[in-house]
């Protein structure tokens, strides 16, 4: 077990455009912002369908990795996460004395197909979806099995941070993560107001099937950290972010007997 020094929060879900309009209205009202004169700037990001992990670097060196768990207590997955090729053993440049970086571990679709094909050839059970395979891979007792799975990770936030002031915005935070050699999702955009959010949702939704990994929606985060702090949290979710989910996939089944 690992106790998270800074809790790993979850996100409120929205499905309809009107939910996003209501979210933006709440944000504006709490910040005292006039919609026309000064639209709220958001970082819009794909909602990656994987598993959240938190990785601790001490003096820039990989120290420990944990799953989200219930947000307060996670599971230690240090040995397994170390095998992921895009997780650096040492951060580049001037990293803070202590920094916890957070993101989503996922299995790209091509890797999922390959692992399942090989499992089928060996007569083993196949996994239902990339998320289940990623979760199973992180829970392996033998890190060599995890190493054989082509897992990847995109980082999107930080937890504990000592020895450096946190960046002034989500956009700057992502740039900082990249400067340390950590991968971030290439689809992230800075958008203005509810119109910018909904345009982003539609554009990513149209390209969803072409992306090399699975996403189940998008996340809008108030870009300014000062505004995030003013908005704060309710129970386990920030008031400054929301997940805009895609409708669930529907399939037809013919009942033949």
With contacts defined by CB under 6 A, name the span among 46-54, 75-83, 129-137, 247-255 that binds ligand IVH.
46-54
Beta bridge partners of 152: 106
> Counting contacts by CB under 6 A, is residue 39 touching ligand IVH?
no
Q: How many helices (H) and strands (E) does the chain have?
A: 8, 13
Footprint on residues 94-133 left by ligand IVH (CB under 6 A)? 104
CB of 103 to ligand IVH, least distance (A): 8
Rank residues 156 and 180 by Cβ distance to ligand IVH and give the closer one: 156
> Counting contacts by CB under 6 A, is residue 43 touching ligand IVH?
no
- Give me 135's structure tokens: 């979760």
CB of 94 to ligand IVH, least distance (A): 25
> Counting contacts by CB under 6 A, is residue 219 touching ligand IVH?
yes
With contacts defined by CB under 6 A, name the span among 25-33, 42-50, 122-130, 189-197 that binds ligand IVH.
42-50
DSSP 8-state assignment for residue 208? G
Candidates 14, 23, 27, 45; binder of ligand IVH (CB under 6 A) is 45
Measured CA to CA, the distance from residue 200 to residue 45 in angstroms comes to: 9
CA 22 remoteness from chain centre: 23
> Counting contacts by CB under 6 A, is residue 238 touching ligand IVH?
yes
Q: Are residues 220 and 20 in contact, defined by beta-carbon separation less than 8 angstroms?
A: yes
- Give me 87's structure tokens: 């997780």
Candidates 68, 131, 176, 244; binder of ligand IVH (CB under 6 A) is 68
Q: Are residues 54 and 4 in contact, defined by beta-carbon separation less than 8 angstroms?
A: yes
Tell me how many residues contact ligand IVH (CB under 6 A).
15
203 assigned to active site: no
- Phi and psi dihedrals of 64, rounded to 5? -160, 145
Q: Are residues 183 and 86 in contact, defined by beta-carbon separation less than 8 angstroms?
A: yes
Element (H, E) at 172: helix 170-179
Rank residues 144 and 207 by Cβ distance to ligand IVH and give the closer one: 207
**First CA to last CA across the chain, in angstroms?**
48
Footprint on residues 131-190 left by ligand IVH (CB under 6 A)? 156-157
Residues that bind ligand IVH (CB under 6 A): 9-11, 45, 47-48, 52, 68, 104, 156-157, 219, 238, 241, 243
Query: Catalytic amino acids?
Result: 47
């Amino acid at each position: 077990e690992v106790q998270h020094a800074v809790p790993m929060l979850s996100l409120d879900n929205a499905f309809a455009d009107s939910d996003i309009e209501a979210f933006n209205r709440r944000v504006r009202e709490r910040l005292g912002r006039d919609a026309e004169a000064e639209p709220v700037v958001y970082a819009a990001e794909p909602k990656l369908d994987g598993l959240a992990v938190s990785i601790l670097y001490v003096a820039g060196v990989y120290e420990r990795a944990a799953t989200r768990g219930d947000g307060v207590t996670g599971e230690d997955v240090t040995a397994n996460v170390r095998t992921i090729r895009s997780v650096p053993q040492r951060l580049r440049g001037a990293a803070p004395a202590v920094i916890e970086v957070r993101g989503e571990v996922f299995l790209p679709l091509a890797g999922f197909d390959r692992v399942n094909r090989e499992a089928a050839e060996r007569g083993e059970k196949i996994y239902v979806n990339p998320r289940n395979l990623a979760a199973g891979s992180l829970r392996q007792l033998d890190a060599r099995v995890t190493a054989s799975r082509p897992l990847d990770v995109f980082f999107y936030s930080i937890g504990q941070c000592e020895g450096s002031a946190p960046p002034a915005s989500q956009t700057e935070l992502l740039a900082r993560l990249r400067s340390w050699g950590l991968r971030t999702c290439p689809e992230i955009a800075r958008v203005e107001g509810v119109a910018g959010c909904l345009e982003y949702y539609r554009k990513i939704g149209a390209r969803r099937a072409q992306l090399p990994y699975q996403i189940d929606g998008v996340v809008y985060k108030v870009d300014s950290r000062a505004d995030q702090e003013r908005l704060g949290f309710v129970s386990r979710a920030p008031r400054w972010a929301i997940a805009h989910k895609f409708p669930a996939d529907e399939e037809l089944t013919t009942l033949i007997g």
